[in-house]
Amino acid sequence: MAKSRSGVFKKEASELLNRFNASLSFDKKLYEEDIKGSLAHADMLEKQGILTKDEAKAIADGLKTVLSEIKNGKFVFDIQDEDIHMAVEKRLSEIVGKEIGGKLHTARSRNDQVALDFKLYVQKNSLHIMTFTINLIKTLLDIAKKNTDTLLPGMTHLQHAQPINLAFHLLAYMCMFRRDVERFDSSYERNNFSPLGSAALAGTPYPINREKTAKELGFDAPVSNAMDGVSDRDFALEILFNISVLMMHISRLAEELILWSSMEFRFITLSDEYSTGSSIMPQKKNPDVPELLRGKTGRVYGNLIGLLTVLKGLPLAYNKDMQEDKEGVFDSVETAAISLQILNETLKTMSINKDNMLKACAKGNLSATDLADYLVTHSNIPFREAHFITGKAVARAEELGVDISQISIEELKKVDDRIGDDATVFLSLEASMNARNSKGGTAKSATLSQINDMEDWLNGFK
């Protein structure tokens, strides 16, 4: 019989109810948080004179025994116990006796207990994800430092636009991941308040010390309202949202890795360690890793929408619907953790085909804007007119079968005699890239200063 059933019940719970109601199969993941919370609670009860020293010691020793039993795989999880909270408490009572074990739950409810355990899990994993994301930024930065001279076509609409360097391209992703780290960090700060001691919904008549348990468990302070303490799942929504945005960034990078490793691009080659084969076509090496990163992003979004929907109609305070908060969070956290690690390794082990990137720059008239800019700066022609003239020059280059960066000065002058003798100097790919030296631009000098900024941020973080 599940221990949450008091003497009010005249019949046993049905087998079907036990199966439907239980969360033990998934919330057993919270065993460490549950025992940590109970240790802090029992210690506080003793300091407040609610438990005797001997009782508190027996409970603490018993909880540590339960912890090692779970860790060693000796603990028997029984669905009849409903959830991890009841399962741990039942085993504690078996070890220390019901007389003492039954006192642990004084001045506490499963409602504040589950809110606490879940929040501890979310806070701990926010820090893990931040560390993995920082490792990813470090890898991108290492690759960037070696590739400030590696030219590739910058694109808009997936069409060749302007030449950029690879470091600059990767810095765009570093900026996204940096915001992700900051987002997890700010959620951590905002939610770092302990629900323990909220009890069922209205607080407790026992003289508890919520500040003590809050500090002991690594929180800044207790939450200020008990009803909010047991009903709030914003922290869970925030980690789901933060992971969704992070995975969206990962997915965009993954999409580029897929494109770049295709035969059409061949900008990169994924390592054998992180490529997969085909069961029928022996020549194939498939980018399953970035494809799965892209695909898993969908499920992570689903977890966010799922919990938002579960919560939207709930009256205060705790409702059993809230038991549905955990599986999606566990899934998103585990997905983010493995995704960040495998993306990091995939990037570290891939090879960059600089020649193919450069060859691709010779197509698409990437430096056309530079001709327009030249006409503005050197011939005092309004930009709109310069834009039109340049279009004619591009059309001429296409007729000749050359890229605008390769066209002769004679041909250019035929398009418009205001084009000076020195114009082609500005049309080389390198000149084009380095011309964009505004702050945040792709010029090598501007790229190097972005690298410095990113390094400063990394060093300053923590």
**Residues that bind ligand ARG in the complex, under the rule CB under 6 A:** 23, 27, 83, 110-111, 114, 318, 320, 322-323
Q: Looking up tokens 């194939």, which residue turns up?
A: 284
Return d(Cα 325, Cα 16) in angstroms, integer.
22
41 labelled catalytic? no
Q: In the complex with ligand ARG, which residue's Cβ is closer, 310 or 362? A: 310
Q: In the complex with ligand ARG, which residue's Cβ is closer, 318 or 374? A: 318
Q: In the complex with ligand ARG, which residue's Cβ is closer, 118 or 168? A: 118
Shortest CB 432 distance to ligand ARG, Å: 59
Q: In the complex with ligand ARG, which residue's Cβ is closer, 322 or 394? A: 322
Q: In the complex with ligand ARG, which residue's Cβ is closer, 180 or 325? A: 325
Shortest CB 87 distance to ligand ARG, Å: 10
Look at the chain and count its residues.
462
Query: 79: which DSSP letter?
Result: G
Among 157, 224, 279, 438, the active-site one is: 157
Return d(Cα 140, Cα 128) in angstroms, integer.
19
Return d(Cα 404, Cα 66) in angstroms, integer.
74
Shortest CB 148 distance to ligand ARG, Å: 51
Q: 10 Å Cβ neighbour count for 401?
A: 7
| 196 and 214 Cβ atoms separated by less than 8 Å | yes
| 326 and 121 Cβ atoms separated by less than 8 Å | no
Among 25, 68, 262, 278, the active-site one is: 278
Half-sphere exposure of 316 toward its Cβ, with a 13 Å CA cutoff?
9
Shortest CB 112 distance to ligand ARG, Å: 9
Shortest CB 16 distance to ligand ARG, Å: 17
Rounded to 5 degrees, what are φ and ψ at 105? Answer: -85, 5
Run of H or E including 153: strand 151-156
User: Taking Cα atoms as reference points, which of 67, 84, 76, 68 lies closest to residue 25?
Assistant: 84
| 303 and 331 Cβ atoms separated by less than 8 Å | yes
User: Taking Cα atoms as reference points, which of 448, 249, 236 lies closest to residue 330?
Assistant: 236
Shortest CB 228 distance to ligand ARG, Å: 16
Return d(Cα 214, Cα 193) in angstroms, integer.
7
Run of H or E including 337: helix 326-349
Q: In the complex with ligand ARG, which residue's Cβ is closer, 114 or 250? A: 114
* Beta pairing class for 351-352 and 268-269: antiparallel
Return d(Cα 179, Cα 170) in angstroms, integer.
15
Q: 10 Å Cβ neighbour count for 379?
A: 16
User: Taking Cα atoms as reference points, which of 7, 193, 33 lies closest to residue 120?
Assistant: 33
Q: In the complex with ligand ARG, which residue's Cβ is closer, 114 or 226? A: 114
Shortest CB 325 distance to ligand ARG, Å: 7
Q: In the complex with ligand ARG, which residue's Cβ is closer, 111 or 123? A: 111
Q: 10 Å Cβ neighbour count for 209?
A: 16
Shortest CB 23 distance to ligand ARG, Å: 4
157 labelled catalytic? yes
Q: What is the widest separation between alpha-carbon atoms in the chain?
A: 101
Q: Which residues contact 451 (CB under 8 A, 6 or more apart)?
A: 141, 144, 145, 148, 167, 171
Shortest CB 110 distance to ligand ARG, Å: 4
Q: 10 Å Cβ neighbour count for 169?
A: 20
Q: Mind telling me the catalytic residues?
A: 157, 278
